[in-house]
Amino acid sequence: MPLKTKYLPLTLTICLTAACSVDNATEDGARQPQILTKNTFRDLNGNGKKDLYEDTSKPIEQRVDDILSRLSLDQKVNLVMGTGMNTDDYTNPDSKVPGAAGYTYALNELGIASIVLADGPAGLRISPSRKGDPNSYFATAFPIGTLLASTWDTDMLTTIGQSMGEEVKEYGVDILLAPGMNIHRNPRGGRNFEYYSEDPVLSGKSAAAMVNGIESNGVGATIKHYVANNQETNRFLVDTIASERALREIYLRGFEIAVKDSQPWGIMSSYNKLNGSYTPQSENILTQVLRDEWDFQGLVMTDWFAGDDAVAQMNAGNDLIMPGTPKDTEQLAAGLESGQLDEKTLDRNLQRILKVILQSPSYAGYPYSNKPDLNAHAHTARQAAAEGAVLLKNTGGALPLAKAVNKVAVFGNTSYDFISGGAGSGDVNEAYTVSLVDGLQTAGYHIDSKLASTYEQFLATEKARQPKKENFFQLLPPIVEMPLAGEALATQAAEADIALITLGRNSGEFQDRPVEGDFTLTAGEQRLIADVSSAFHAQNKQVVVILNVGNVLEIASWRDQVDAILLPWQGGQEAGNAIADVLTGKVNPSGKLPTTMPVHYRDVPSSDNFPGVETSDKTVSGIGGFAVGKPSRVDYEEGIFVGYRYYDTFNVEPAYEFGYGLSYTQFEYGSTTVSSTTFEDSISVSVTVTNNGKVAGKEVVQVYLSAPEGQLKKPVRELKGFAKTRLLAPAESQQLTFTLKVKELASFDESRSSWVADKGIYKIDIGASSRDIRQTVTFELPDERIAESNLTDL
Ligand code: BGC
pLDDT at 471 over 90: no
Phi, psi of 163 (to 5 degrees): -65, -45
In which band, very low, low, confident or very high, does the pLDDT at 131 lie, cut at 50, 70 and 90?
A: confident
**Active-site annotation holds for 765:** no
pLDDT at 319 over 50: yes
Report pLDDT for 27: 35
Report pLDDT for 38: 37
pLDDT at 42 over 70: no
The amino acid sitting at 527 is R
Centre of ligand 1 to C-alpha 18, Å, is 7
Pocket test for ligand 1, best of 21, 177, 227, 428 (most atoms within 8 A of CB): 177
What's 378-603's CATH class?
alpha beta
Region 638-653: mean pLDDT is 98
What's CA 118's distance to the chain center, in Å? 15
> Is 272's C-beta closer than 6 angstroms to any atom of ligand 1?
no
DSSP string, 395-420: -TT-SSPPTT--EEEEESHHHHS---
Residues 6+ apart with CB under 8 A from 615: 239, 630, 631, 632, 633
Q: pLDDT digits over 169-182, tens only?
A: 999 999 999 999 99
CA 784-687-726 angle, to 5 degrees, is 125
Q: Which residues of 726-740 are buried (b: 16+ CB within 10 A; e: fewer)?
A: eebeeeeebebebeb
Of 383, 319, 377, 380, nearest in space to 348 by CA: 319
Centre of ligand 1 to C-alpha 304, Å, is 6
Nearest atom (ligand 1) to Cα of 473: 7
Report pLDDT for 95: 79
Q: List beta partners, residue 112.
A: 107
> Is 267's C-beta closer than 6 angstroms to any atom of ligand 1?
no
Active-site annotation holder among 303, 427, 438, 512: 303
Pocket test for ligand 1, best of 87, 127, 175, 304 (most atoms within 8 A of CB): 304
Start and end residues for every CATH 3.40.50.1700 domain found in the chain? 378-603
Kindly report the average pLDDT of the chain as a whole number.
92
Residues 6+ apart with CB under 8 A from 522: 478, 480, 481
Region 185-193: mean pLDDT is 98
> Is 224's C-beta closer than 6 angstroms to any atom of ligand 1?
yes
In which band, very low, low, confident or very high, does the pLDDT at 14 lie, cut at 50, 70 and 90?
A: very low
Report pLDDT for 35: 37
Return the DSSP state at 485.
Answer: P
- Give CA–CA dist 402/568, Å, rounded: 20
Centre of ligand 1 to C-alpha 280, Å, is 14
pLDDT at 441 over 80: yes
Q: pLDDT digits over 74-95, tens only?
A: 999 999 999 987 655 544 555 7
Nearest atom (ligand 1) to Cα of 120: 10
Residues 6+ apart with CB under 8 A from 130: 90, 98, 137
Centre of ligand 1 to C-alpha 680, Å, is 45
> Is 177's C-beta closer than 6 angstroms to any atom of ligand 1?
yes
In which band, very low, low, confident or very high, does the pLDDT at 34 lie, cut at 50, 70 and 90?
A: very low
Start and end residues for every CATH 2.60.40.10 domain found in the chain? 665-788
Report pLDDT for 221: 98
Report pLDDT for 626: 61
CB of 300 within 8 A of CB of 286? yes
Centre of ligand 1 to C-alpha 299, Å, is 16
Angle of helix 486-495 relative to helix 523-537, nearest 10 degrees? 50
Report pLDDT for 1: 39
pLDDT at 352 over 80: yes
Report pLDDT for 85: 78
Q: pLDDT digits over 209-229, tens only?
A: 999 999 999 999 999 999 999
Centre of ligand 1 to C-alpha 157, Å, is 22
pLDDT at 663 over 80: yes
Region 108-121: mean pLDDT is 94
- The model's pTM is 0.95
The amino acid sitting at 711 is Q
- Give CA–CA dist 158/787, Å, rounded: 30
pLDDT at 501 over 90: yes
> Is 425's C-beta closer than 6 angstroms to any atom of ligand 1?
yes
Nearest atom (ligand 1) to Cα of 17: 7
Region 118-128: mean pLDDT is 96
CATH topology of domain 665-788: Immunoglobulin-like (2.60.40)
Closest C-alpha to ligand 1, atom 9: 425
DSSP string, 608-663: GGSS-EE--SS--EEETTEE----EEEE-TTTT--THHHHHHTTPPPSB-TT--B-
In which band, very low, low, confident or very high, does the pLDDT at 25 lie, cut at 50, 70 and 90?
A: very low
Q: Which helix (H) or strand (E) holds 719?
A: strand 718-724
Region 672-696: mean pLDDT is 98
Closest C-alpha to ligand 1, atom 5: 101
Phi, psi of 627 (to 5 degrees): -85, 115
Region 243-264: mean pLDDT is 98
Return the DSSP state at 251.
Answer: I
